[in-house]
Structures are given as C-alpha cells and as structure tokens.
C-alpha cells in the first residue's frame, strides 16, 4: 500500500532529498485507495521506474467530493471572506517558493523537463499564478443595474461549489470560493503530491483541496459523471474533452471548460527580423520538447526569405538535438518526451511523414539508446493533407511551408480544426495587426512565440477549447456563476 517515497538527488544542478507521500490526499489527510491500486511512475530520461503511487477509483472520488461539499458549506465558499482566501493562497505561494528547487527537481525527474527551465518557467510561473489570484480573491464584484425607480437590482458572482481540475487551474477556482477535487496526470503526479503537503501546512481547511491520483478511464470518468461536481475544467486532448462533454451531458449537465490541443501556425513575413524570428520559431515548437499545446508546429515562410530561414532554422534544430541529454546536466537544452506512450506516438507521426513523401530536413529519429529522447525534427516538401500537417503531434516535430501573399497565408493558417494560438513575425505594424485579427485563434503573438502573461487570458477557438478562459481576470468568470437579485423598493400591487 502507499506510504512515503524518498529520493536523493545528486546531480550537477541540484543536490537534495525529497520525501513525498504516495497516497490520496482527501480532507487534509493521506489515505489509501479503497481498491488498493498502484500506478508506477517512470523517469523518462532513463525509462526506469521511480516509485509507485496510489491509484484511485470511483469510490475514492466519492469520498473526495463529500469532503469538498462539506468544506464548501461549512468553512469555504460563501462562509469565508475573499481576503482570507487570498491570504491562504499567498501562504501557499510562499511555501512553494521556499521549496522551489525541490519542486523543479521533481518536475525534471518525473516529466523530463530541463531543470533550469522547470525552475524558471514551470514552478516560477506557478508561484506567480498563486500570488496573482491571491490578489483577486477579495475583488470579485458584481454590478448594480438601472431598472426603474421602484426596484433595486444587482448581480453577484458566486462560486459553483465543488469543481474539478484535471490540470493546474487550482488558484482561480479556490480564489473565487470553490472547493476542488484534482486528478493529476497519472504519468506525472509527484509535484501535485508534494503540493498537497504544502496545502495543509498553509492552513487550508480540510476538504478545500483534494487530490485523487488515478487513470483517466477510472478517476477521470468518475469525475466527469459525478452528480456532486458542478464544474469540470480540463486541459488535454480533444478526444478526452469530447468524452468529458458527453459524460456531463448524460449526467447532471455540469458546466465544462476545456483547453484542448492545437496545430498553431507561425507566420514569417519577408520584412521580419529574421534572426529573431528564427530564435522565437525554434522555441515556439521545440520548447519542452514540443509538449506545449500552443506549439507553433506549422511554420509558414514567405518565399523571399524561405531559403535563408530554413538554413538557419535547421541549424538551430540540430543544435538543440546535439544538446539533448540528462535534464539535470549543465548545458542540456533538450530533454526526453514525458512517457513511452508519447514517445511511440510521436515516432509514429514521424514515420507517417516519411511514408507520405515529406522530406526530413533534420532529425526524424530517436536520440540515444535509453530514455524517451527524440531529436528535434523538421519536415519540408509537405502537403496540406498530410497527417503531420493536420494533426496535433505534441512533440518536437514541425513542418515548414512556403507562401507568397498575405491573403494566401491567412487561408492556409486557418485551414485547421484547431484554433488555440498563432505567431506572426513582421516589422510592418499594420500588417501584423491586420493578420492577427484575421487569424482564427484565441491567442496571437506578434514578433514572439508562446510568451504568456499571467494577466492576459488564454484559451482556444474551434476544437481547441470552449467554456471560458484561463489566466487573467477572465479566469474568474470561468469559476463563478452570475446571480441576478431584484429588490422591490416601492412597487405595490
């Protein structure tokens, strides 16, 4: 049965010991799963096992939901001032910052992320998110509405109650007064389990934040179907998103917000700062080994600079591949894919591209003999009907296409079922704004790529998501529902 797991890091970039409870975190207590299942956690850099954690079931979700419902009615929700919620979120952010190096090390060990990048972007970004929404917790307001002299009307933005996150959306949900049941990825649960320890240390009441590890087919399905959960927020694949929507429709019609996949275009115009465009485009597709939902995987280059761009972009991809290795080693820029399943999936797409007649400009094969490393890969001579052009790969695989005119590239960029993000490189401000407005995507970056800001909303068009936005003030709307209140101050019958 689950207990505690201790791992000693002795790497060039981090030395320390981490101890984590591997059970389920329900009602501020560590508990064993009802059915006693275990899930193996693997180090993607070696392919070897790290530890085993508890695998929950429907019965465990039921227990977590009951704890969350009780907390919402008695100690959270409308029973606590927004200021107090914000103070607890601030304490949690401070505790994460205190343990920053350890969190980054666990993320590198479990997810294969380069340690320095995990520390700066992933964990550092999470701290910023918690502090940002801590500041919003006491600033959630409604409106007074002019109606007639005999009536006073106003709106309130109230929490849903029990909501579920299958990703990192805790801060805005808790800030707005909801209690949460979280299902971390069964592949990468370690940082979520470490976070649970800090939730209790920060002083959150029992039941406000509950973590139930488990597989999507068991815990994820139970959450989607649960009548006691009023909202599900999910980040992941479009296929899973459809399943969640179907389960919600067939049960209690719970609200669902989805941030799904993408096949985002990167557009390089002839008047772009080419040196900067190459660097941003490389980061846009190869950051985190391409495992980014908004990755710029379709790269459109105007014909006048196509050859020069391709030459230098190829060199950039090769350089990243040459730096692949241990995520903890100094100088490593490219780590492994997160799992064997994802590795095999990406390699199948690479094989598909080769079989369809696309040209492998660079990469196209695994790196090394152990672990789940894939070389940064660039395809040219592709056609719009190829799988590698149309489907999300979620790996370090990009395609480069040539275009002539602005009108042509807008049509090509929008020729996708996805609409999460897009990237434009041009020194012509009028053109950049014109194209940004014409692209069918929830986020557009001009002369940069995947440069998120916590205060700016993020989410998708079309099959890249629906039901609200993450980040910024807009995320508060995702986790609240609006109530209209009518008060008679003089109307008589």
Tokens of 441: 């995507």
Closest CA to 313 of 293, 287, 283, 336: 283
Span between the terminal Cα atoms of the chain, in Å? 68
Give me the DSSP letters along 397-408.
Answer: EEEEEEE--HHH
Quote the CA–CA distance of 220 and 244 in Å, as a whole number.
9
Phi, psi of 12 (to 5 degrees): -65, -25
Q: Is beta strand 151-159 parallel, antiparallel or unpaired with respect to 480-488?
A: antiparallel
If one counts every other C-beta atom within 10 angstroms of the C-beta of residue 29, the result is 13
Cα distances (angstroms) measured from residue 10 to each of 15, 102, 185, 205, 329: 5, 12, 26, 36, 11
Cα distances (angstroms) measured from residue 320 to each of 144, 217, 273, 332, 345: 55, 36, 21, 9, 21
Closest CA to 9 of 102, 99, 100, 95: 102
If one counts every other C-beta atom within 10 angstroms of the C-beta of residue 208, the result is 25
Contacts of 169 (CB under 8 A, 6+ apart): 233, 235, 470, 475
Quote the CA–CA distance of 189 and 241 in Å, as a whole number.
20
Cα distances (angstroms) measured from residue 233 to each of 236, 446, 455, 460, 469: 10, 28, 19, 14, 10
Closest CA to 71 of 27, 25, 130, 134: 27
Quote the CA–CA distance of 233 and 169 in Å, as a whole number.
8
Phi, psi of 342 (to 5 degrees): -70, -40
Quote the CA–CA distance of 297 and 423 in Å, as a whole number.
10
Does the active-site annotation cover 158? no
Quote the CA–CA distance of 226 and 248 in Å, as a whole number.
8
Quote the CA–CA distance of 187 and 241 in Å, as a whole number.
18
Helix (H/G/I), strand (E/B), else coil: 386: coil
| Residues 452 and 420: beta-carbon distance below 8 Å | no
| Residues 354 and 381: beta-carbon distance below 8 Å | no
259, 275, 355, 369: which one is catalytic?
Answer: 259
Q: Indicate which residues carry an active-site annotation.
A: 259
């Amino acid at each position: 049965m689950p207990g505690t797991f201790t791992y000693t890091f002795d790497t060039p970039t981090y030395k320390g010991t981490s101890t984590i409870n591997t059970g389920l975190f329900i009602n501020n207590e560590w508990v064993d799963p009802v059915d006693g299942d275990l899930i193996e956690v693997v180090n993607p850099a070696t392919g070897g096992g790290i530890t085993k954690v508890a695998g929950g079931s429907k019965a465990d979700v039921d227990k977590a939901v009951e704890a969350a419902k009780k907390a919402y009615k008695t100690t959270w929700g409308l029973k606590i001032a927004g200021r107090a919620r914000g103070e607890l979120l601030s304490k949690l952010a401070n505790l994460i910052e205190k343990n920053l190096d350890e969190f980054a090390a666990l993320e590198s060990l479990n997810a294969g992320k380069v340690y320095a990048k995990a520390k700066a972007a992933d964990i550092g970004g999470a701290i910023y998110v918690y502090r940002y929404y801590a500041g919003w917790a006491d600033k959630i307001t409604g409106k007074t509405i002019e109606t007639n002299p005999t009536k006073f009307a106003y709106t309130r933005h109230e929490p849903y109650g029990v909501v579920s996150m299958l990703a990192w959306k805790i801060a805005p949900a808790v800030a707005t007064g909801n209690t949460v049941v979280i299902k971390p990825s069964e592949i990468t649960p370690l940082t979520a389990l470490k976070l649970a320890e800090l939730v209790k240390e920060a002083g959150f009441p029992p039941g406000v934040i509950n973590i139930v590890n488990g597989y999507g087919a068991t815990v994820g399905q139970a959450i989607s179907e649960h009548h006691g959960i009023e909202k599900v927020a999910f980040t992941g694949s479009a296929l899973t998103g459809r399943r969640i929507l179907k389960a919600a429709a067939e049960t209690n019609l719970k609200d669902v917000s989805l941030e799904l996949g993408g096949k985002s275009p990167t557009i390089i115009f002839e008047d772009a700062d080419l040196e900067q465009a190459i660097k941003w485009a490389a980061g846009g597709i190869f950051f985190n080994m391409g495992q980014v939902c908004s990755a710029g995987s379709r790269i459109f280059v105007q014909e006048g600079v196509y050859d020069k761009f391709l030459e230098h972009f190829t060199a950039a991809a090769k350089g990243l591949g040459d730096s692949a290795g241990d995520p903890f080693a100094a100088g490593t820029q490219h780590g492994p894919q997160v799992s064997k399943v994802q590795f095999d999936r990406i390699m199948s797409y690479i094989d598909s591209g080769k079989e369809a007649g696309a040209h492998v400009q660079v990469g196209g094969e695994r790196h090394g003999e152990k672990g789940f490393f894939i070389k940064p890969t660039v395809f040219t001579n592709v056609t719009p009907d190829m799988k590698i052009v149309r489907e999300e790969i979620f790996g370090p695989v990009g395609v480069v296409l040539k275009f002539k005119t602005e009108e042509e590239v807008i049509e090509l960029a929008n020729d996708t079922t996805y609409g999460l993000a897009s990237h434009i490189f041009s020194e012509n401000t009028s053109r950049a704004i014109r194209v940004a407005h014409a692209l069918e995507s929830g986020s557009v970056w001009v002369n940069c790529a995947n440069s998120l800001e916590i205060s700016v909303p993020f989410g998708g068009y079309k099959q890249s998501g629906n039901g609200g936005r993450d980040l910024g003030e807009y995320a508060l709307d995702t986790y609240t529902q609006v109530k209209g209140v009518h008060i008679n101050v003089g109307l008589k019958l």
